[in-house]
Amino acid sequence: MKLAYADQHAPTVDLIQSFSLEMTAKDIESLTDAAPLIPAGTPISVTYLPGEEMPARVAAAQAVKNLGFVPVPHISARRVLSRDDLQQFLAMLDEHVGIERAFVIAGDPASPMGPYEDALAIIRDGLLPAVGVRKVGISGYPEGHPDIDKPKLAKAMHDKIAALSDQGLEAEIMTQFAFDADAILVWLERIRQEGVTIPVRVGVPGPASVKKLVRFAARCGVGASAKVMLKYGTSITKLLSTAGPEKLIEELADRIDPSVHGDVLLHFYPFGAFVDTAQFIANHYGTAKA
Ligand SMILES: NC(=O)C1=CN([C@@H]2O[C@H](COP(=O)(O)OP(=O)(O)OC[C@H]3O[C@@H](n4cnc5c(N)ncnc54)[C@H](O)[C@@H]3O)[C@@H](O)[C@H]2O)C=CC1
Ligand SMILES: Nc1nc(=O)c2c([nH]1)NC[C@@H]1CN(c3ccc(C(=O)N[C@@H](CCC(=O)O)C(=O)O)cc3)CN21
């Protein structure tokens, strides 16, 4: 599938082809409204946030599937209360949805709420292929992680890729969102030098008020300094103004060299503004026909 890239600047790679999106369990109505704007077959992640019930997450994945998209349920290892709970969640997804993809992440709790310490523990448990999962997303941190040092992140990435490969599963990286093209490009180059060849979906924010961007950045441990936000195309003094990722995407499209940065796609984080994000993508990059 190729999407038309409507910008004047011809990208060196077709960065926007087959982008992915993210929703929460609360976004089913927005997903339904936005569906005509989104190409069939688009992967749509369903987050695993605290305070959501399992059936709501399953219903969201079901809506994704029914509307013609590919559900990518998230599993937050440290938030899983027991192996039974995880098995139940996966069985519900299998029965009511039918999933071929999932995304595994440790999660923010400082210590595990159940038996799974990290994403690797979920993968190693082997429950995913048993319910038909064939492709698994893992994290990536273009700007590093505030609480996990670089060697630990690199080791975790390699261990997860190896464990997925051992089970015959495909792997891809979906990164934490970032505002800084330089940081993203340097990180991509580094992981490729370290031998990571799997596709990377670079996480970018959807259009949002500067206030919301700064709030989410603080909450997620992402840099949003005055300097970085200026490069992104806005100013942190204009808290109520809206900023989209168009400059960041244009810069990435101009500068990504597949021989250096590998296979790179985009993943949009709407932060609650799902319809606005789908509209933004359709407006800027062409309505998406397979
Ligand atoms: N990228 C994203 O979209 C999201 C990221 N997160 C963040 O991801 C972090 C790590 O997840 P993964 O990259 O899947 O790690 P991971 O499961 O691959 O673990 C890597 C290493 O970091 C340690 N670790 C994991 N979570 C930690 C935490 N909260 N505090 C301190 N050490 C931790 C693990 O024990 C392991 O040694 C979470 O802590 C959270 O901050 C959470 C939700 C979404
Ligand atoms: N470290 C870390 N922890 C996370 O939980 C996290 C990340 N990183 N990176 C990005 C994703 C995206 N995440 C989220 C978290 C919350 C909403 C959410 O609650 N949205 C609200 C409205 C948004 C608002 O607060 O204005 C909603 O109702 O959907 C969405 C995405 C969580 N994520």
Residues 6+ away with beta carbon under 8 Å from 89: 54, 57, 58, 73, 75
Weakest-pLDDT range from 8-17, 71-80, 84-93: 8-17
Do 173 and 161 touch, CB atoms closer than 8 A? no
Best CA proximity match to 78, nearest among 53, 105, 52: 105
Q: How high does pLDDT run on average in the chain?
A: 93
* pTM of the complete model beyond 0.90: yes
* DSSP structural state of residue 116: -
d(CA 138, ligand 2 centre) in Å: 17
* DSSP structural state of residue 175: E
Which residue type occupies 26?
Answer: K
Confidence of residue 14 (pLDDT cuts 50, 70, 90): confident
Q: What is the ipTM of this complex?
A: 0.96
- Phi and psi at residue 228, in whole multiples of 5°? -65, -40
Higher pLDDT, 66 or 285: 66
Atom number of ligand 2 nearest to Cα 269 = 12
Q: Which residue owns the Cα nearest ligand 2 atom 8?
A: 220
Which ligand has the nearest atom to the CA of 76?
1
Which ligand has the nearest atom to the CA of 154?
1
Q: Which residue owns the Cα nearest ligand 1 atom 6?
A: 107
pLDDT at position 3: 37
Q: Which residue owns the Cα nearest ligand 1 atom 15?
A: 106
pLDDT reading at 139 higher than 60: yes
pLDDT at position 13: 60
Best CA proximity match to 164, nearest among 197, 196, 136: 136
In SS3 terms, 180-201 reads as CHHHHHHHHHHHHHCCCCCCEE
Instruction: Report the pLDDT averaged over residues 178-198.
Output: 97
Count of beta carbons in the 10 Å neighbourhood of residue 53? 9
Which ligand has the nearest atom to the CA of 78?
1
Burial per residue of 55-66, b for 16 or more beta-carbon CB atoms within 10 angstroms, e otherwise:
eebbbbbbbbbe
d(CA 259, ligand 2 centre) in Å: 33
Integer Cα distance of 175 and 140 in angstroms: 4
Using one digit for the tens of pLDDT, what is the confidence trace for 92-127?
999 999 999 999 999 999 999 999 999 999 999 999
pLDDT reading at 6 higher than 60: no
d(CA 271, ligand 2 centre) in Å: 6
User: In which residue are the tokens 């590093």 written?
Assistant: 144
Do 224 and 236 touch, CB atoms closer than 8 A? yes
Task: Please indicate whether residue 156, judged by its CB atom, sits closer than 6 Å to ligand 1.
Answer: yes
pLDDT reading at 2 higher than 80: no
Using one digit for the tens of pLDDT, what is the confidence trace for 216-263?
999 999 999 999 999 999 998 998 899 999 999 999 999 999 999 999
Atom number of ligand 1 nearest to Cα 118 = 17
Atom number of ligand 2 nearest to Cα 145 = 1
Instruction: Report the pLDDT averaged over residues 42-57.
Output: 95
- Phi and psi at residue 276, in whole multiples of 5°? -55, -40
Hey, what domains does the chain have and what are their CATH numbers? 20-206+258-275 (3.20.20.220)
Using one digit for the tens of pLDDT, what is the confidence trace for 21-38?
999 999 999 999 999 999
The beta strand positions in 106-229, using DSSP E, are: 135-140, 170-177, 200-205, 208-209
Give, for 288, the enclosing helix (H) or strand (E): none
Confidence of residue 1 (pLDDT cuts 50, 70, 90): very low
pLDDT at position 57: 97
pLDDT reading at 287 higher than 90: no
pLDDT at position 16: 85
Integer Cα distance of 277 and 208 in angstroms: 9
d(CA 172, ligand 1 centre) in Å: 16
Question: How far apart are the two ends of the chain, measured CA to CA in Å?
Answer: 5
Q: How far is CA 85 from CA 48, 90, 116, 217, 265, in A?
A: 13, 9, 12, 30, 32
